[in-house]
Structure 1
Amino acid sequence: MTRHIRLNAFDMNCVAHQSPGLWRHPDDQSWRYKDLSYWTDLAQLLERGLFDGLFIADVLGTYDVYAGTPEAAIRQAAQVPVNDPLLLVSAMAHVTGNLGFGITTATGFEHPYPFARRMSTLDHITNGRIGWNVVTGYLPSGARNMGHDDQLQHDDRYDHADEYLEVLYKLWEGSWEDGAVLRDPVRGVFTDPAKVHPIGHHGKHFTVPGIHLAEPSPQRTPVIYQAGASPRGRRFAAENAEAIFTAAPTKALLKETVADIRHQLKRAGRDPYSARIFNLQTVITDATDAAAHAKHEQLQGYASDEGSLVFMSGWMGIDLSRYDLDDPIGDVESNAIRSAVAAFQQADADGREWRVRDIAAWGGIGGMGPRVVGSAATVADELQSWVDETDVDGFNLAYAITPGTFQDLVDHLIPELQRRGAYPTEYTGGTLRNKLLGRGDRLPAEHRGATYRVGGEASTIPATATATATATATG
């Protein structure tokens, strides 16, 4: 049986996302990111294409690693201005019935207690279609504007995130029992206090003694997305993630990455296929190969090398303005996204060393992922070969222009994949978790978060609650 390819659309509540300069293209509508109709129209388009979800990235800070100033980022609209991603979801959910929403927020800049309620709210109003992309942060400017001298060291950020997730799992999984909400008008009892428990968390970073403020949502815990590709990041993903994003530029590197992720999942006591793996990819397609390549050439004419190097400097934690365009980046240490550095310290597909000008050209459209250009048949052949050769589940598709790039996918690529039996023709029922993994709406028993359920092996919640639960909640 032909394996189905999974697709996410990759966007951000800003201009041009990861295609700096493409906002100048006459057909690009990303400047309308402030208009709600842009997002509702996009959501409906993606649902027509049976996309698993719309994955919305975010940063809290400016890209000021390049030349040590945010001026180039501001000039190029390189993810600044940028608006909050969470506030878009309710409107998009209202006009769709199946599309999932993966929302990015960082663990370093918000306390888990209010965040837990915000995500439960979104899970309720989407009827279980919300996911959370867990990021630990990588821009020093974000840390400074939150009152810190710099962000924590790379591995320390994951240690902090481990406790952040522990608090959330206790709130989402262990505070309210199933059946706590009675809504009994005869007895005048809406919720049974004996089935609502304070979590009693007292840790290194957080103290959260009380109950979760929201009643259990369809998924309880939203689908956990994660993109960490360092050894520490992969261990964190193996313990928590249900959808894992990679940005490997070659099949050889992706095959190695996917194999290691599957291995790490197994080491964490999970099924190696209990998380979907999506590689970042940009597809430029049209009715014929010639038309697609002509389109790609035209799009390249709008790409900004400066904007690309602004992004690459931020992702890699290296000021690329200090290098000559023909210099390789060499052996450097990074406190940002280590996988971004590692990808360009290896030889490219032709065995050549990456130069700064190569990095700028690579990232000009769609960011760090590879590009595939061609007719629907050509692109389908290539994407199927990536799946067959690397064991990846699907692709996180960036855009060159929006909604044009996504419209081309829906009009050309998806019908071709469906004809080959390589793409679904209807949505699976249930929540986002069930649509992605086909194993029900709640976390499986093998998942770390499931151990924090009432009576779970990691739970510190008492078997019976007392009036302390109500007292703690009301203060």
Structure 2
Amino acid sequence: MSQKKQIHVNAFNMNCVGHIHHGLWTHPRDQSTRYNTLEYWTNIARILEKGLFDGIFIADVIGYYDVYQGGTDLTLRESIQLPVNNPWLLISAMAAVTEHIGFGVTATVGAEHPYTFARNVSTLDQATRGRLGWNIVTGYVDSGARGLGQDGLAAHDARYDRADDFLTLSYKLWEGSWEDDAVIADRASRVYARPDKVHPVQHEGPYYRANAIHMSEPSPQRTPVLFQAGTSERGIRFAGQHAEGIFIGAPNPAAARTASRRLRQAAADAGRDPSDLKIYVGLAVIPGHTEKEARDKYAEYLQHANPEAGLAHFSASTGIDFSQYGLDDPISYGPSNAIQSATQTARQQGWTRRQLLEQHKLGSRYTTVVGDPSQVADQLEQWIDEGEIDGFNLTRIVVPETYADFAELIVPELQNRGRYRTAYAEGTLRQKLFGRGDRLPDSHPAAQWRHAGVTA
């Protein structure tokens, strides 16, 4: 009898008040207005570790949402990912109160430089003993580009071209500058690092150039676990080449299966093993001890949600100001320079503003699973088996209630079914996820930059 596929779960969050389910910050039990305190984050970290989550996946956006109604009034009133703070500065505090959970942290390529960014990553991977992941984002709002001194975002595919170059230089720094035995820390001979084992990186790319030694000695993983969330044609090609964890949106398991197969094929086309990918679907879960308790909780949450705020978020994702349309007017879904997959789905379905508001009744379009532990576990297993995915990014509704409920009610049920870990494995985040060691496999494009003596 074959072993059942284990279900991976990340807590999906953002360093802000309103993340995905807009309006829920008004719920009396929600603590997200404390997002700018360390205690808020360390409490979440402890809850997640107790629930044996893989990690916390922290989204980020450089910029703000000003498409809906042509401004930021609603964005500010409902705190639709504004204000939003730097997620990277939270990691040390959460790592200090935990031992195992991983940290998938978002950074936008266009707002960083590979030379300094590589040092930031190595520093945190060292400090967390190898628990760091990077969610690679190319940007999707013009407001952020304007804040960085540009007229607007570069063309969609060109942003991925820049990301390719960014990663190539980063790989050279992480994988090739310092050999594994460069650091000997020999007090007697007064040699900390052997000069013959540290090498300058040469890079002349279309977007970046460098001639320098990586400033940090090798971290446990060297390259962090690489996450990515783009599912446009160009995004899929990029994911197939680089990503280890891929975050997809799907309304049902059949759609997830289609996306998963395309992504795994893209990895194979890039010369990689398709099993080197972990694919996660974004999901909301509202459990109760009984079905009635879960349904009552869902109804309670609905009283605090703001569908219009959710639509304003979707406007930013598509680049379309839905406020200019009547409830049942046909909407013109033209070419988008924002999130192409979001616009493509809306265009194919021909959604009106009324339909979109109904979809955003919980402040978001995320698929929502409601029920007692057995009912929820049944649906999660269906997503895993029929959708051919590996796990979920569990989006928060009420903080920290969403995470605590999942840990208390759903994790034991999944454990009883042999679907969820009962204890953490030792090792780095990459080792925990794949069980094949701390470093990227030789089939990954980063491996080509390893210096002689740097092992997989």
> Where on the TM-score scale, by shorter chain, does this alignment land: which range?
over 0.9
Contact 1:247–1:368 (CA<8 Å) still a contact in 2?
no
**Residue 91 of structure 1: CA displacement?**
0.7
- Alignment partner, residue 451 of structure 1: 448
Greater Cα shift, 362-371 or 108-117: 362-371
- Alignment partner, residue 50 of structure 2: 48
- Alignment partner, residue 430 of structure 1: 427
**Residue 455 of structure 1: CA displacement?**
4.4
Q: Matches of residues 268-347 of structure 1 in structure 2 within 5 Å?
A: 268-347=270-349
Contact 2:16–2:82 (CA<8 Å) still a contact in 1?
yes
Q: Matches of residues 209-224 of structure 1 in structure 2 within 5 Å?
A: 209-224=211-226
Look up the SS of the partner of 1:209 in the other structure: strand
Of the three residues 376, 380, 383, the one matched with 1:379 is 376
**Residue 110 of structure 1: CA displacement?**
1.4
Matches of 1:324 and 1:415, distance apart in 2 = 47
Of the three residues 410, 415, 429, the one matched with 2:407 is 410
Matches of 2:284 and 2:197, distance apart in 1 = 48
Look up the SS of the partner of 1:273 in the other structure: helix
Of the three residues 86, 89, 103, the one matched with 1:101 is 103
| Closer/same/farther in 2, CA of residues 357 and 74 from structure 1, 3 Å limit | same
Look up the SS of the partner of 1:34 in the other structure: coil
**Residue 151 of structure 1: CA displacement?**
0.6
CA displacement 1:346-374 (0-9 Å, x = unmatched): 44xxxxx5332332332343734211111
- Alignment partner, residue 148 of structure 1: 150
Of the three residues 398, 417, 421, the one matched with 1:420 is 417
Matches of 1:365 and 1:114, distance apart in 2 = 40
**Residue 452 of structure 1: CA displacement?**
1.0
**Residue 48 of structure 1: CA displacement?**
0.8
Contact 2:307–2:363 (CA<8 Å) still a contact in 1?
no
Contact 2:307–2:362 (CA<8 Å) still a contact in 1?
no
Would you say 1:355 and 2:352 are equivalent positions? yes
**Residue 248 of structure 1: CA displacement?**
1.1
One-letter amino acid of the structure 1 residue matched with residue 376 of structure 2? V
Of the three residues 61, 84, 88, the one matched with 2:90 is 88
Matches of 1:367 and 1:445, distance apart in 2 = 40
Look up the SS of the partner of 1:335 in the other structure: coil
One-letter amino acid of the structure 1 residue matched with residue 446 of structure 2? G
| Closer/same/farther in 2, CA of residues 367 and 169 from structure 1, 3 Å limit | farther
Contact 2:58–2:104 (CA<8 Å) still a contact in 1?
yes
| Closer/same/farther in 2, CA of residues 250 and 323 from structure 1, 3 Å limit | farther
| Closer/same/farther in 2, CA of residues 257 and 330 from structure 1, 3 Å limit | farther
One-letter amino acid of the structure 2 residue matched with residue 144 of structure 1? R
Contact 2:80–2:313 (CA<8 Å) still a contact in 1?
yes
**Residue 343 of structure 1: CA displacement?**
2.6
**Residue 317 of structure 1: CA displacement?**
1.5
Look up the SS of the partner of 1:96 in the other structure: coil
- The answer for unaligned runs of 5 or more in structure 1 is 348-352, 457-475
CA displacement 1:358-391 (0-9 Å, x = unmatched): 3233234373421111111111001111111110
Matches of 2:343 and 2:213, distance apart in 1 = 42
Contact 2:252–2:383 (CA<8 Å) still a contact in 1?
no
- The answer for unaligned runs of 5 or more in structure 2 is none
Contact 1:173–1:453 (CA<8 Å) still a contact in 2?
yes
TM value normalised by structure 2? 0.97
Matches of 2:123 and 2:49, distance apart in 1 = 22
- Alignment partner, residue 229 of structure 1: 231
Matches of 1:233 and 1:368, distance apart in 2 = 21
| Closer/same/farther in 2, CA of residues 364 and 102 from structure 1, 3 Å limit | farther
| Closer/same/farther in 2, CA of residues 209 and 363 from structure 1, 3 Å limit | farther
| Closer/same/farther in 2, CA of residues 176 and 7 from structure 1, 3 Å limit | same
Aligned Cα root-mean-square deviation (Å): 1.4
One-letter amino acid of the structure 2 residue matched with residue 5 of structure 1? I
- Alignment partner, residue 242 of structure 1: 244
**Residue 2 of structure 1: CA displacement?**
1.7
Of the three residues 18, 21, 41, the one matched with 1:19 is 21
One-letter amino acid of the structure 2 residue matched with residue 376 of structure 1? P
Look up the SS of the partner of 1:148 in the other structure: coil
Matches of 2:269 and 2:208, distance apart in 1 = 28
Contact 1:365–1:399 (CA<8 Å) still a contact in 2?
no
**Residue 332 of structure 1: CA displacement?**
2.1
Look up the SS of the partner of 2:338 in the other structure: coil
Look up the SS of the partner of 2:276 in the other structure: coil
CA displacement 1:270-307 (0-9 Å, x = unmatched): 11110100000000111111111111111011111221
Of the three residues 72, 75, 80, the one matched with 2:74 is 72
- Alignment partner, residue 205 of structure 2: 203
One-letter amino acid of the structure 1 residue matched with residue 24 of structure 2? L
One-letter amino acid of the structure 2 residue matched with residue 412 of structure 1? L
Contact 2:8–2:392 (CA<8 Å) still a contact in 1?
yes
